[in-house]
Amino acid sequence: MLQLIRAASILCFISAAVVFTACGVSVAEQQTNKRTEKKPPVQIVSDKPKIVAFGDSLTAGFGLAEKESYPYLLQERLRADGYDYEVVNAGVSGETSLGGLERIDWVLEQENVRILILELGANDLLRGLPVAKMKENLDRIIKKAKAKNVEVLLCGMLAPPTMGAQYQRQFVTAFPDLATANKVEFLPFVLEGIALDPKLNQGDGIHPNAEGAKVLMANVYKALQPLLKK
């Protein structure tokens, strides 16, 4: 019973996210996305093996200082635990799976990329984009990474019943299906323990605040463990 209540609560959270976005709460995020896309890519030079955090506003750290974003916190945690990786924040607020596909080649051209943390799909959901196309885009991103011998951690997202039963079912199953088909590590719900908690979210009720980003980092770090090497 508690599991059913918890699942329903999470779906209510995502339903609220859809409503907030439709009402224009994500306008600032969309503007951030436009500004980011205009910036020329910066070549990152380092001999250390890299973990690329590749995603949308949850990865970029929307509304947070750089040192509060989950990729920055992940870098600190890895260093504290004796791992010699460089974490690259390749998040873009407002990014869809198509946007990610369009820029993944440049990201994978960086030297010594060993792991890709793939966190995309939420904006496809919020915009009601076809699940089949999102799945295809994510599949192509994963295959591009694996073709370069880059290991992948796929982060999942949930969909609310307000999107329709068929859409919800297709969206929710897309992520585990991709993980299984491509044999990659999988984090079922990236916002586990964060969704619906006002103490862990910003005023929009969607994006994690500084404390929520710590939980997000912990979720990712736990799922990342099988891929890490000292």
Reading the chain (230 residues) residue by residue, the pLDDT tens digits are 434 334 444 555 455 454 344 333 343 444 344 433 433 344 455 689 999 999 999 999 999 999 999 999 999 999 999 999 999 999 999 999 999 999 999 999 999 999 999 999 999 999 999 999 999 999 999 999 999 999 999 999 999 888 999 999 999 999 999 999 999 999 999 999 999 899 999 999 999 999 999 999 999 999 999 999 98
Q: Which residue has the tokens 């890895």?
A: 78
Report pLDDT for 9.
44
Cβ neighbours of 14 (radius 10 Å): 25
- Cα 194 to Cα 196: distance, rounded to the nearest angstrom: 6
Report pLDDT for 45.
54
Helix axes 70-80, 210-224, angle to 10 degrees: 50
What's the pTM value of the predicted model, to 2 decimals? Answer: 0.85
Superfamily of domain covering 2-227 = SGNH hydrolase (3.40.50.1110)
Known catalytic residue at 207: yes
What are 125's two structure tokens? 């959901």
Burial environment of residue 20 by CB neighbours within 10 A (0 to 12, 13 to 18, 19 or more): middle
Cβ neighbours of 68 (radius 10 Å): 17
Known catalytic residue at 26: no
Of 57, 69, 93, 97, which residue is the catalytic one?
Answer: 57
- Cα 38 to Cα 198: distance, rounded to the nearest angstrom: 33
- Cα 26 to Cα 172: distance, rounded to the nearest angstrom: 22
Element (H, E) at 2: helix 2-22
Known catalytic residue at 9: no
Q: Where are the domains of the chain?
A: 2-227
Report pLDDT for 230.
84
Of 15, 139, 197, 204, which residue is the catalytic one?
Answer: 204
Burial environment of residue 46 by CB neighbours within 10 A (0 to 12, 13 to 18, 19 or more): exposed
Q: Please answer whether residues 198 and 52 qualify as being in contact, where contact means their C-beta atoms are separated by less than 8 angstroms.
A: no
